[in-house]
Amino acid sequence: MAFEGLTGKLNGIFSKLRSRGKLTKADIDAAMREVRLALLEADVNYKVAKDFAAKVQERSLGAEVMESLTPAQQVIKIVNETLTELMGSGAREIRLNSTKPTVIMMCGLQGSGKTTHAAKLANMYKIKERRPLLIACDVYRPAAIDQLKLVGQAAKTPVFEMGQQDPVGIAKAGYAHARDHGNDIVIIDTAGRLHIDEQLMEELKEIKSAVNVDETLLVVDSMTGQDAVNVAKSFSEDIGIDGVVITKLDGDTRGGAALSVLEVTGTPIKFAGIGEKIDDLEVFHPDRMASRILGMGDVLTLIEKAEQSIDEKKAAEMMGKIKTGFDMNDLLEQLAQLRNMGNLRQLMAMMPGGAKIPDEAIDENAFRRVEAIICSMTPAERSRPAIINPSRKRRISAGSGTSVEDVNRLLRQFEQMNKMMKMMSRPGKRRSRMPGMQFPF
């Protein structure tokens, strides 16, 4: 995950501060030197890292911190606030027009994920019951139009294309098509290059002028580190950009680009790509990202994911079953909804303290094993697990590719889960007496 190295180093620095109780100027000076080094190792721009550490240091030496009973917590609070300011304070979503289609132009270098994220953005607005249209203006890259059609299909969004013609003419015709067919958002996928050149910039300027673009979004790959910041600076100076879409924040990236973009270019990050699925796009919230970087989790985003992924009607039905107990079919359904929320590592990182859990302790295959075991049961066994005897266990384990011990473990934990839920549904029941429950396997 992005920022993993930075999160670990910052937590180590803060642990030292907590162990000292009252802090001296020397303690804070030493801590800020370590913070600056940690930021540089995370590929944060040198000037940004230097200014950040100096700002935190200045605030931390105030009387409110030095005379506090918990100075380490005050310093962490200041780091959190300064990180949030560095990335832009609040989320900045796209302002949509009310009387005409909103035109969004996606630009960037080849390989940044521009075409894919054009469709992800369309999908995000489709979920909000908007009517987006994708326009294929990348007429140079082989199969670019076919790729846009493919990801457009995944986003259930129509694609307007006119083959290998003039991109400016395609943009104009696509906008007219959107206006005539009731599309309220137009997303233009433009051509990229292997590097920034004058021809690319001129074409983008012509498209921007021809269709009166409302938002120009630059897509940058966070894996390229400070190169991503340099690209953003060049695009900002040459054509003017309104926001950045930063991709691959789910990968093994140091994350320095996300911390440097706004400070270096003056342009905020508006969206973040967090995976390969069509719905793996988030509105970028600086305060939530700062909280993740400091290992404090991101409960608000976790709640939003749950609200998007979990069917309210089914959730209400499940609450009714808690009082009487639920069966294996219900467990299978709950696992499917949990998997729809995203990668297990990502979900755990959003829980307070979840970033500290080592990767080896999170088994992504646990879901698959549990599902395989349940799918190997007969309908009667799923409805009444109590009838599963030793011979049935051997058949289920053989059918699911697991061991009898795995089947026994799931059955035990399923029984514990049912007991715990029944106890929770009884008013006045003391939670301290509830049986322990671990996730299967």
Region 102-296: CATH code: 3.40.50.300
Q: Which amino acid is at 233?
A: K
Pick the CATH number of 304-433 from 1.10.260.30, 2.60.40.10, 1.10.3720.10, 1.20.140.10: 1.10.260.30
- What is the predicted pLDDT for the residue at 370? 87
CATH 1.20.120.140 residue window(s) in the chain: 4-87
Cα separation of 226 and 45, whole Å?
7
- What is the predicted pLDDT for the residue at 440? 46
For residue 319, count CB atoms less than 10 angstroms from its CB and return exposed for 0-12, middle for 13-18, buried for 19 or more: exposed
Residue 323: C-alpha distances to residues 102, 398, 419, 424, 435 (Å): 49, 33, 10, 9, 16
CATH 3.40.50.300 residue window(s) in the chain: 102-296
- What is the predicted pLDDT for the residue at 434? 37
CATH 1.10.260.30 residue window(s) in the chain: 304-433
Tens digit of pLDDT at every position of the chain (441 positions): 567 778 888 888 888 888 877 778 888 889 899 999 988 888 888 889 999 999 998 888 876 666 665 777 888 888 888 988 888 877 788 889 988 999 999 998 888 889 999 999 999 999 999 999 999 999 988 889 999 999 999 999 999 999 989 999 999 999 999 999 999 999 999 998 777 778 888 999 999 999 999 999 999 888 777 788 888 888 888 899 999 999 887 765 667 788 888 888 888 999 988 888 898 898 888 888 888 787 765 555 655 666 565 566 665 665 666 556 678 888 887 777 777 666 666 666 655 555 555 555 556 677 788 889 999 999 999 988 989 999 999 999 999 999 999 999 889 888 887 777 666 555 554 444 333 434 444
The contacts of residue 77 (CB under 8 Å, 6+ apart) are none
Task: Return the DSSP state at 331.
Answer: H
Cα separation of 83 and 259, whole Å?
8
Q: Which CATH superfamily is domain 4-87 in?
A: SRP54, nucleotide-binding domain (1.20.120.140)
- What is the predicted pLDDT for the residue at 154? 94
**For the chain, how far is it from start to end, CA to CA, in angstroms?**
23
- What is the predicted pLDDT for the residue at 116? 94
**What are the DSSP calls for 56-101, one per residue?**
HHHHHTSHHHHTSSSHHHHHHHHHHHHHHHHHTSS--PPPPPSSSP
Q: What is the pTM of this model?
A: 0.69
